Amino acid sequence: MKERMEQVEQIGRLKREKNAIVLAHNYERAEVQDIAEFVGDSLELARIAMDTDADIIIFCGVNFMAETAAILNPDKKVVIPDVCAICPMAQQLPQDVLRAAMREHPDADVVLYVNTLAESKALADCICTSANAPEIVRAMDTPTVLFGPDRNLAYYAQKGTSKMIVPVPEHGNCPSHHQITLEDLLKAKDAHPRAKIMAHPECIPEVQDRADYLASTSGMVKISKEVEDEEFLIGTEIGLLHRLEKEAPDKRFYPLSTTAVCPQMKMCTLENIEAALEHEKPEVVLSPEIMDAARKPIERMLALSH
Ligand code: 13P
Ligand code: SF4
């Protein structure tokens, strides 16, 4: 325990000395969330990264999130404590796969989930997150929209628009969310019949269709505080439960599936955060051409979403 306290104090000292901040995604380990200046969803973290005066951003999340922060801050140092924190869904849409789909649908605008490689973002008309996907798709100019890499998010984005959404690749998904089944949901609901179901739009359509609330991770935190319901079944990565329990202590939260864990989101630890602050690496480095091209669709998203 003493060691943990010393580590937290050392991280605080290094942050002050170097004018650094720690940003953490809602799925990060509890102790990582607790030392962060800001904990949030992908959209919030991108906005904070753009607005900060800090010289160094220690980004506790997966690679595409740290890359987005670096793209929005070409003059700042963005450091990811473990370079192996690579989102498997983002890997599912390399540039050549996207280029082939664009050749097949030359008149379609391209909307990519922020959970994408920077090289693919560079080809997009606009980026979206789980907090704004339907809004962004509606704002596009073309009747057909190429949307990737998450087919489940494409299903969510399809609601409220008559545009034709073409998923690219055909079956892209997040392994941690895709494994939450309808059976998991029905079992959990049996065990907690009064609980309302909150699910992330990366869940399969059958789960989305039975959810009382569909929202981004921070959207779920907001809803849990605003509504009168007292119990919730949470259909997303289980790291979010820490923040839910902290910010809505009078409510009860149960996971839809206890195995919905994203291993890459658990790679940041107090040890590697301290090392990242001390040595100011591993730094996120992308080519200036990719950064410039990828910045445009990210900034367009920030301008379009409220
Ligand atoms: P949010 O933007 O809703 O936090 O989701 C990010 C993510 O990676 C979900 O798997
Ligand atoms: Fe990627 Fe899924 Fe992990 Fe989110 S939860 S970072 S989409 S693998």
pLDDT tens per residue across span 86-101: 999 999 999 999 999 9
pLDDT over threshold 90, residue 266: yes
pLDDT over threshold 80, residue 296: yes
The pLDDT confidence band at residue 306, using thresholds 50, 70 and 90, is confident
Whole-number mean pLDDT of the chain? 96
Q: Report percent pLDDT > 90 for the chain.
A: 94
Query: How remote is the CA of residue 1 from the centroid of ligand 1, in Å?
Result: 31
Q: Which CATH class is domain 176-261?
A: alpha beta
The pLDDT confidence band at residue 244, using thresholds 50, 70 and 90, is very high
pLDDT at 64: 96
pTM for the predicted model, two decimal places: 0.96
Query: How remote is the CA of residue 6 from the centroid of ligand 1, in Å?
Result: 31
The pLDDT confidence band at residue 116, using thresholds 50, 70 and 90, is very high
Spatial contact of 274 and 11, defined as CB atoms under 8 Å apart: yes
pLDDT at 159: 87
Q: Where in the chain is the domain with CATH 3.40.50.10800?
A: 2-86+265-285, 90-173, 176-261
Among 86, 152, 177, say which to mutate for ligand 2: greatest number of ligand atoms within 8 Å of CB: 177
Q: Mean pLDDT over residues 124-133, rounded?
A: 97
Q: Mean pLDDT over residues 12-20, rounded?
A: 98
For the domain bounded by 2-86+265-285, which CATH number is listed?
3.40.50.10800
pLDDT over threshold 80, residue 69: yes
Q: Which of 1-5, 25-29, 97-101, 172-176 has the lowest mean pLDDT?
A: 1-5
What is d(CA 67, CA 63) in angstroms, rounded to the nearest whole number? 6
Cβ–ligand 1 contact at 63 (below 6 Å): no
Q: Mean pLDDT over residues 142-165, rounded?
A: 96
pLDDT over threshold 90, residue 85: yes
Q: Mean pLDDT over residues 216-232, rounded?
A: 98
pLDDT over threshold 90, residue 1: no
What is d(CA 80, CA 95) in angstroms, rounded to the nearest whole number? 23
What is d(CA 136, CA 191) in angstroms, rounded to the nearest whole number? 37
Query: How remote is the CA of residue 63 from the centroid of ligand 1, in Å?
Result: 13
Cβ–ligand 2 contact at 129 (below 6 Å): no
The pLDDT confidence band at residue 2, using thresholds 50, 70 and 90, is low
Q: Which ligand is nearest to the CA of 90?
A: 2
CA 90 to ligand 2: nearest atom: 1
pLDDT over threshold 80, residue 20: yes
Q: Which ligand is nearest to the CA of 130?
A: 1
CA 219 to ligand 1: nearest atom: 3
The pLDDT confidence band at residue 124, using thresholds 50, 70 and 90, is very high
Query: How remote is the CA of residue 9 from the centroid of ligand 1, in Å?
Result: 29
Is domain 90-173 classified as CATH 3.40.50.300? Answer: no
Query: How remote is the CA of residue 30 from the centroid of ligand 1, in Å?
Result: 16
Helix (H), strand (E) at residue 207:
helix 205-210
| pLDDT single digits (tens) 157-210 | 998 899 999 999 999 999 999 999 999 999 999 999 999 999 999 999 999 999
Q: Mean pLDDT over residues 30-57, rounded?
A: 95
pLDDT over threshold 70, residue 298: yes
Query: How remote is the CA of residue 2 from the centroid of ligand 2, in Å?
Result: 33
Number of CB atoms found within 10 A of residue 143's CB: 12
CA 259 to chain CA mean position, Å: 18
Q: Which ligand is nearest to the CA of 199?
A: 1
Return the closest-CA partner of residue 288 out of 46, 67, 71: 71
Q: Which ligand is nearest to the CA of 215?
A: 1
CA 87 to ligand 1: nearest atom: 8
